[in-house]
Structure 1
């Protein structure tokens, strides 16, 4: 079972972020071979933090050596090749899959630039971040293409348009 521990602070407004995060995480997991996590007896937790650009900037500099804010950061807590084993053999029935952190200013600016609702863009970034927690990456063209395909599939199950489609505006 997937549990979302969501925290948010200004400038993120109060909204249904937890439900969107849960839907995005579940859709991402379901679109991968890790789909069994959705029915695992272990409580598989994903921590989601909605915060300021300044906090994400500091985290990005500290952990990735990049001196700028970014839309989403993911911090996996379990090696991908151990996810199934850990969820089946958890001593206390709980597994912390990892943390996802999103920057308000970057996310809302991207959503506006792309003509998306903040809710749809946040859901996409949760899907993206969850895939990183599961070990997916986009460092090479092949990995990036595979990850984008999973994102498209997951978002389609939620009725969210392909975020990578070329817009003809």
Structure 2
């Protein structure tokens, strides 16, 4: 089980970039199921974009079988989970729960707070006016799935590697996250 709270500095603006060529598209992975439970009303999310991001990350990690669920929730719900499973008070941006991991198989759950995503996206309005709450949700999903495939951010070197992986995967959608 893995948890992480993503924080950003405001020193670098978010920008849109051209997505890489078509070869960046992950192959359809018939044996990997991605379920999205949208249990919130704050952010209008692009579920297909979330699914494609997860498939990109797991494909790069060599995973071709399994199940990943993503729950989009409010701050109250994620705070309850944060307390129950990690004994930490308060809301966070994303929680990742690894259920099974082998070289080619993955089962896990990602829980994202869209309230936090909306607040964070609004905080970038001056430095990154194009960065939307949906973009912030996608960043959290990418961060969560990276944890599930083995990345961590417990020290400076590992955190830098994880941020680089986030940037690489978000670039496939024409995104450069703020403060990264």
Residue 114 of structure 2: aligned partner: 104
Greater share of helix: 1
Q: Can you give the 5+ residue segments of structure 2 that lack an aligned partner in the other structure?
A: 1-28, 126-130
Residue 26 of structure 1: aligned partner: 55
Q: Does 1:140 align with 2:155?
A: yes
Deviation at 1:3, TM superposition (A): 2.4
SS across alignment from 1:83: coil
Equivalent position to 1:55, from 49, 61, 77: 77
Residue 150 of structure 1: aligned partner: 165
Residue 127 of structure 1: aligned partner: 142
Residue 46 of structure 2: aligned partner: 17
Could you tell me whether the CA contact under 8 Å between 2:82 and 2:92 is conserved in 1? yes
Greater than 3 Å deviation, 4+ residue runs: 162-165
Cα distance in 2 for partners of 1:17, 1:157 equals 15
Cα distance in 1 for partners of 2:48, 2:77 equals 23
SS across alignment from 1:78: strand
SS across alignment from 2:97: strand
Could you tell me whether the CA contact under 8 Å between 1:20 and 1:119 is conserved in 2? no
Provide TM-score, normalisation by structure 1.
Answer: 0.77
Residue 6 of structure 1: aligned partner: 36
Aligned length: 145
